[in-house]
Structure 1
Amino acid sequence: MERELSTAPVYSMGVAERLTGLTSRQIRYWEQQGLIRPARTKGRQRLYSEADIALLKEIKRLLADGMTLQRAKHYLAAREARRRARDPAEAAERVGLAPRVTSLYPLTHRAELLRLIDRDRD
């Protein structure tokens, strides 16, 4: 099973450069083009996560394989849309079908709780 990459923003621009082999100019340009969105500190310093670093490496590989920047952007957006479509909880939330109640109570009590909640809303 593949390990999920951390989205915690911890790497500075300099570390991102060293980890990816990219220049800060390339990274900033890809940000301007909407390919990556690093977190920012209150002082506006860019911070990159493990997932951001992996994305930068992937963009670098796609471009090295001959893909244009615009095509890479479309490819990554389509892949993200497919990933989200496969996540049932996220898909349900987008269309307004997310569960209304989460409970630590056993399932046998859940129907009663939902009935009481619905009664109070009327």
Structure 2
Amino acid sequence: MAGQTSGSPLEPTFQGYVGSTMDALLLFEACLSGNLTHVSRRPHDRERPTLIRSGNVFIYEEHSSGIKRWTDGVAWSPSRILGNFLIYRELDKPFQPGEKKRAMKRNKPESGALKTLPKPK
């Protein structure tokens, strides 16, 4: 089944939880067989507030849609690998221009650098 046209309202391919690689493969297969519709474009600015939310899944076919990388106007963390998935977390605020987009390391005290207080007398 073909994707949505650029003039039609954009809808998620699927709404729900993708909990395993098998879940993802079933969604891809459903798109390939025409049981689910892949998206043909990114969401317009006016559509983003209602579309970009937890549970909405957007599947696109790179060649037919021309989408090489998904963008939706939301600030996301750098990706982290979890099994066969790349996980992104929504950020409260976007990175500043020029700011490195990598995870911040936690400050760990170096050995011997802990300050101890004297025992009370």
TM-score (norm: length of structure 1): 0.26
Higher strand share: 2
Structure 1 or 2: larger helix share?
1
TM-score (norm 2): 0.26
